[in-house]
Structure 1
């Protein structure tokens, strides 16, 4: 069906198209390690590799892994996910959480949201996390359903730094 792969130049054109699809719809690129701010896809790929290790992550940022969700039948990019290996500051502990993800606008409603979160949770377990914090906008009922389908337990709802109500879920691994 679909698998997670580490970003590489093999997928550069698809990553660029993915970014463009979100920008065209004026949507936020959740879970993409600052893809919306990247000057080039090549540099973004280099940067996501730097984030993987404490020794190379930029100061002030948490070490994290980023993966592409690729459909195996046609090697199409379906989504992008990011897993912070630790929550290094109060912002992440409250609002950022461990996991962020997005699904290509043309691929939504096909079960890929649940799949990307399921596979990211496996990566979290492989990286010795016992439980993870996953947040979503209160109005994003599709994401809330995906989190709940992956055993997310709602801890609370809080107002974030953008004055938006968000749901905070914990998933025990």
Structure 2
């Protein structure tokens, strides 16, 4: 397994992952999976620009996107590392969002993608990373706890039907 920056090399595999999530009527997490991929090269260029802090929608911070690649060179997950925090990200989102392709879940990939992305956080100068998670998302909670993140608090967030947990980890 490896974590890579988005590349045309993985086009078909990436599209298949996004389609699988959509076909299951899932919310695309991380949010970057909703990026228009019809012109794949343009999408790759936009993702690179976002990592440089360019071309972002108002209210967004610079953020880097990574894909988790399995031993068969297929995209099985996606993570998004926010280089800073806004008030909105402090409430929901934190520094890192990640998701695993539905057919590849329960294989320990969430733990791996989070560990790899926490390593990338170091290179962005992030000393302490915030992770937020819906308390009922047991797979993500387990991945977060497996990476030695420390639960700070949990609270209700308007618009969500479960408590949100707030974890911090020194990277």
Answer yes or no: same fold by TM over 0.5. yes
Distance 1:122 1:21, change over 3 A: same
Cross-structure match for 1:74: 72
CA deviation after TM superposition for structure 1 residue 41, in Å: 5.4
For each residue in 1:40-89, what CA deviation from the matched residue of structure 2 results, as whole angstroms up to 9, or x when unmatched?
25133222111101344343211010000001x310111000000111x2
Which of 133, 136, 150 is matched with 1:153 structurally? Answer: 150
Cross-structure match for 1:163: 160
Check the 8 A contact 1:135/1:169 in 2, yes or no: yes
Written as runs of structure 1 = structure 2, the 5 A alignment for 1:34-113 is 35-38=33-36, 40=38, 42=40, 43-71=42-70, 73-87=71-85, 89-113=86-110
Cross-structure match for 2:138: 141
CA distance in 2, matches of 1:61, 1:12: 25
Moved over 6 A (4+): none
CA deviation after TM superposition for structure 1 residue 32, in Å: 4.7
CA distance in 1, matches of 2:104, 2:120: 22
Cross-structure match for 2:3: 4
Distance 1:41 1:112, change over 3 A: farther
TM-score computed with the length of structure 1 as normaliser: 0.91
Q: Quote the RMSD (CA, aligned, Å).
A: 1.6
Unaligned segments of structure 1, at least 5 residues: none
Report the secondary structure of 1:96's partner residue.
coil
Check the 8 A contact 1:153/1:169 in 2, yes or no: yes
Report the secondary structure of 1:82's partner residue.
strand
TM-score computed with the length of structure 2 as normaliser: 0.91
Task: State the aligned residue count.
Answer: 169
Check the 8 A contact 2:151/2:166 in 1, yes or no: yes
For each residue in 1:76-116, what CA deviation from the matched residue of structure 2 results, as whole angstroms up to 9, or x when unmatched?
111000000111x2101111100000011111111111100
Unaligned segments of structure 2, at least 5 residues: none
Deviates more, 1:62-71 or 1:44-53: 44-53
